[in-house]
């Protein structure tokens, strides 16, 4: 079974609409839709925006549905001149940029887990390869593999975006992937993050770009996720 998590309706509805034999359960306030996409068993959830919502959803999905792998899909902001609106970012690792205990001597982004500390959480190499294959299958040439920075902030302004690139090497920023990655890492569930850029490093207003391009960006990510799942059938 593949688990798919997005923060908003526009990031998951296009997937659930394609599913058959669906069943719906609401657990911890989160609506989980399970069924088949093609011949593949899937469970899809809209977690809501932010790290805590995402973590609740990922942990509940693992405990209640036991997915073999989890993919976080949706939109993101660019933190690099290499990622423009509509570009696809396949994360090779995630970091939580708003975790900061540097005053105590820790590295920026350090997470404190039951068995120690970690900063970057690696995504599944197998899933990265599958997502890249799905991009090629759909004819998507504008994709990049790189680090995603997660935090409970909508990052706006080129200075703040550039700072995430310089400090962490991130090519995109968003608000859920890092916490989903942390939950999957602790539970030893392979995971990946696929994001489509909705707002960029430009002189345009970030909120305006987001409102104009978020839906089309989300649809592009949905098409790639769908191609990946159908490839597994």
144 forms beta bridges with: 89
Angle formed by the axes of helices 51-65 and 177-187, nearest 10°: 30
Full DSSP string of 131-188: HHHHHHHTT---EEEEEEEE-SS---SHHHHHHHHHHH-EEEEESSHHHHHHHHHHHT
Full DSSP string of 196-231: EEEE-SSSS-HHHHHHHHHHHHHHHHHHHHHHHHHH
Task: Quote the CA–CA distance of 112 and 218 in Å, as a whole number.
Answer: 32
Question: How many CB atoms within 10 Å of residue 88?
Answer: 26
Task: Quote the CA–CA distance of 211 and 209 in Å, as a whole number.
Answer: 6
Residues annotated catalytic, as ranges = 11, 199
């Amino acid at each position: 079974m593949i688990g798919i998590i997005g923060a908003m309706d526009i990031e998951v509805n296009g997937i659930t609409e394609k599913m058959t034999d669906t069943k719906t359960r609401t657990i911890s306030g989160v609506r989980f839709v399970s069924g088949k996409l093609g011949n593949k068993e899937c469970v899809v959830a809209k977690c809501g925006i932010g790290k805590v919502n995402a973590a609740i959803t990922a942990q509940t999905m693992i405990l209640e549905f036991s997915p073999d792998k989890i993919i976080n899909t949706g939109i993101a902001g660019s933190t690099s001149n290499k990622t423009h609106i509509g570009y696809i970012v396949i994360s090779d690792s995630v970091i939580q940029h708003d975790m900061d205990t540097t005053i105590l001597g820790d590295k920026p982004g350090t997470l404190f887990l039951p068995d120690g500390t970690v900063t970057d959480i690696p995504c599944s190499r197998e899933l990265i390869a599958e997502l890249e294959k799905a991009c090629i299958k759909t004819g998507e040439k504008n994709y990049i593999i790189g680090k995603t920075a997660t935090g409970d902030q909508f990052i706006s302004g080129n200075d703040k975006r550039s700072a995430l690139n310089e400090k962490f090497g991130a090519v995109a920023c968003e608000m859920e992937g890092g916490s989903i990655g942390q939950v999957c890492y602790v539970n030893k569930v392979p995971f990946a993050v696929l994001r489509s850029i909705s707002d960029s490093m430009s002189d345009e207003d970030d909120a305006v770009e987001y409102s104009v391009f978020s839906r089309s960006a989300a649809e592009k990510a949905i098409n790639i996720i769908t191609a990946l799942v159908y490839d597994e059938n």
